[in-house]
Structure 1
Amino acid sequence: MFAYSARQLMAAATIGLCAIPATAAELRYAHVGAEGDFQTRFAAEAATEIEEATGGDVTVQVFPASQLGNVAEMVDGVRMGTIQMGHHDFASLARIVPEVAVFNAPFVYTDAEHAMRATDPATSPALQEINERLIEEGGVRIIGRIYRGARHISSNFEIKSPDDMAGKPFRAVPLDLWVSMVTGFGATPTPVEVSELPTALMTGMVVGQENPLTMISANKLNEVQSHVAMTGHMQSVLAVFVNEDTWQSLTEEQQAAITEVLDAKAAESLQWAQESEAALVEELKGKGMTFTTAENGLDLDAFRENVLAQIDQDFPDFGPYIEQIMSMQ
């Protein structure tokens, strides 16, 4: 009834194909953060802003709170490409390149701004060198970072020096760097996944842990912990990473748009953390927690000396990178 020429049919097919963006991408983004944590807000807002910045050609579906597995499973998923994006401590990528954990090392940053400069994928020589190795050896690329605040120690008793922690079971993130650091604290490191932490504290499997105040509040650890020692031993910066094949499948314009969004969100995360810490101290005091600081007896020098000695012993290859990090003032 209707007759079409071959040229007309080809033109119609071409128009139909052009209606579907050739470079459209759907990214699954996983992390272990709980509701209320800065990292959860970061991922949710970044997903929305990436879609807007790419005109809808790149969509991001976020899976928080260990929905796609624990830290190791999430990292493996990104390496294999079954998960396209994720974020966690830099040390979570240490199974690929052990030295990447240096960016989580305790007492290596002078302050939060220094930590953000030293972990900028675009300008940090140390990170650029390690990123090339991550791409080559693991097919994973760091493309951004999140600032969560300084990490402090919480417990169900007062802590003023490493002597107060001697021999006691303290939670360590299940990564070698954290085991080394908790050993340097003088405690007995006990690896516990974050999703299992409240239960481990409640049952006495561990008697303390260390995290930013945002995490302590979001996970209601005040219900099972009575004290916070404001050691500020780590500036908590998380790496945002992507499967390299996925990254290379995007156009340069899409890559630039995503990077711009992540850089802006990184700056916002720093602002969120800095504005909230004083308020969080007051909030947690109101919920019954007691805070120990240098002003009322916390021996920060003892913590710094013990922990850095332990890190130097356990990770001798960190030395050159620590020098590079400390030189970025």
Structure 2
Amino acid sequence: MLRRREVLVGAGALASAHFVGLGGASAQQVKLRYAHVGSEGDIQYWYGDEAGKRIPKATGDRVQVQVFPNSQLGGVQELIDGVRSGAISMGHHEFASLARLSKDIAVFNAPFIYRDGAHALAATDPQKSEVLIEFNDKLAKDGGMRIVGRVFRGARQMTAKMAVRSPADLQGKPFRGVPLQLWTTMIKGFGAIPTPVEVAELPTALMTGMVVGQENPLTMINANKLYEVQTHVMLTGHMQNVLPVFINERVWQGIGPDDRKAVYGIFETLAQETLQQANKAEQDLIGELKKKGMTFVTEQDGLKLAEFRERVIAEVNKDFPSWKPYIERIAAVK
């Protein structure tokens, strides 16, 4: 049986489906269910824990949060449906997981779109980024939830049970993708056969040969012990992986404005800390994963990164032609 962790949080950002005393702006108490798919050792798991420690202090313990990591409340679709309905108060996952609620919001997940991690956080700032604010208004109106923070997990890298240097090496081979349309598009650009697999099932899928490879930040690759079922890491850095933290809109609006402001502040601090951690962890983890037997393939080793970039961008432009103006606006964010 999966273990549940209950974290006490006083906040306006981690909102709940149950309210007690909705009278004063700062007096209401909220009980929240916060779900995500991250496992211990992944930076997104740390983020949830830290939010649980810091938000109560910032808001006077006015909110209780029960945290459900490791896909305890279901996979991606269950998470999104739950937050939309209010059965789950809040969670975090890829921008692309919100695409069926807000058309084109998956553009924030687009491969090869960000200059670096700092640019990714600036472009997805729910208080300052004009393009994100525009999407957030639509998401609240049409999807019943809004983005209140983000988690930076580092650059996503490719792994496989063999060396991969160009899309030709993956031709005709099944490659795991997050069960979302953007990943299907991207993996076609990799040259592989897109094969959706939930993260909880990924080690088994790799072990059995259902898929030959996958892509994730190094923190996740290490935390999920993928070095036991994969031999090579290709440093493609194809995505700067930033996850939106989203909350049921009714719950969010039921929290006092002072507490909402405090929660925004906590989430912004945590976002910058995840950026610092991810940058440091990437260098540390390369050495650690090498010790665990993984071989790294870089451009110096013949990795044809420009070819991957060209192929992937062509697939994205074909499948998502409406993204072009958004990509230009995101690129212009300083």
Is the TM value for this pair above 0.5?
A: yes
Give the Å deviation of 1:220.
Answer: 0.2
Q: Is 1:32 equivalent to 2:16 in the alignment?
A: no
Give the Å deviation of 1:98.
Answer: 2.6
Task: Compare CA radii of gyration and give the structure with the larger one.
Answer: 1
- What amino acid is the match of 1:51? P
- What amino acid is the match of 2:164? I
Q: Is 1:157 equivalent to 2:162 in the alignment?
A: yes
CA deviations on 1:240-297 (whole Å, 9 max, x unpaired) are 0000000000000110111111000000000110111111000000011000011211
2:126 to 121, 124, 135: 121
1:73 — aligned with what? 78
RMSD: 1.2
Give the Å deviation of 1:27.
Answer: 1.1
2:106 — aligned with what? 101
- What amino acid is the match of 1:241? F
- Mapping for residues 157-306 of structure 1, pairs under 5 Å: 157-306=162-311
Task: Work out the CA distance in 1 between the residues paired with 2:217 and 2:225.
Answer: 12
3-state SS of paired residue (2:104)? helix
- What amino acid is the match of 2:40? E
3-state SS of paired residue (2:152)? strand
Runs of 4+ in 1 over 6 A off after TM superposition: none
TM (normalized to structure 1)? 0.93
Would the aligned equivalents of 2:27 and 2:62 in 1 still touch at CA under 8 Å? no
3-state SS of paired residue (2:239)? strand
CA deviations on 1:4-56 (whole Å, 9 max, x unpaired) are xxxxxxxxxxxxx99xx841111111000011100000011111211111110
Task: Work out the CA distance in 2 between the residues paired with 1:142 and 1:211.
Answer: 22
CA deviations on 1:87-127 (whole Å, 9 max, x unpaired) are 00111101101311000100001111111111111111111
Task: Work out the CA distance in 1 between the residues paired with 2:66 and 2:261.
Answer: 19
Would the aligned equivalents of 1:27 and 1:83 in 2 still touch at CA under 8 Å? yes
Task: Work out the CA distance in 1 between the residues paired with 2:324 and 2:249.
Answer: 28
- Mapping for residues 75-90 of structure 1, pairs under 5 Å: 75-90=80-95
- What amino acid is the match of 1:315? F
Task: Work out the CA distance in 2 between the residues paired with 1:79 and 1:197.
Answer: 26
Task: Work out the CA distance in 1 between the residues paired with 2:275 and 2:197.
Answer: 27
Task: Work out the CA distance in 2 between the residues paired with 1:35 and 1:91.
Answer: 23
**Structure 2: unaligned runs, 5 residues or longer:** 1-21
Task: Work out the CA distance in 1 between the residues paired with 2:207 and 2:245.
Answer: 31
3-state SS of paired residue (1:170)? strand
TM (normalized to structure 2)? 0.92
CA deviations on 1:190-236 (whole Å, 9 max, x unpaired) are 00000000000000000000000000000000000000000000000
Would the aligned equivalents of 1:48 and 1:60 in 2 still touch at CA under 8 Å? no
Structure with bigger helix share is 1
Task: Work out the CA distance in 1 between the residues paired with 2:66 and 2:47.
Answer: 13
1:134 to 136, 139, 164: 139
- What amino acid is the match of 1:306? R
- Mapping for residues 4-15 of structure 1, pairs under 5 Å: none
Task: Work out the CA distance in 1 between the residues paired with 2:33 and 2:206.
Answer: 32
2:8 — aligned with what? none
Give the Å deviation of 1:77.
Answer: 0.5
Q: Is 1:43 equivalent to 2:48 in the alignment?
A: yes
Q: Structure 1 vs Structure 2: percent identity of aligned residues? A: 57
- What amino acid is the match of 1:64? P
2:152 — aligned with what? 147
3-state SS of paired residue (1:98)? coil
3-state SS of paired residue (2:119)? helix
3-state SS of paired residue (2:93)? strand
Would the aligned equivalents of 2:189 and 2:312 in 1 still touch at CA under 8 Å? yes
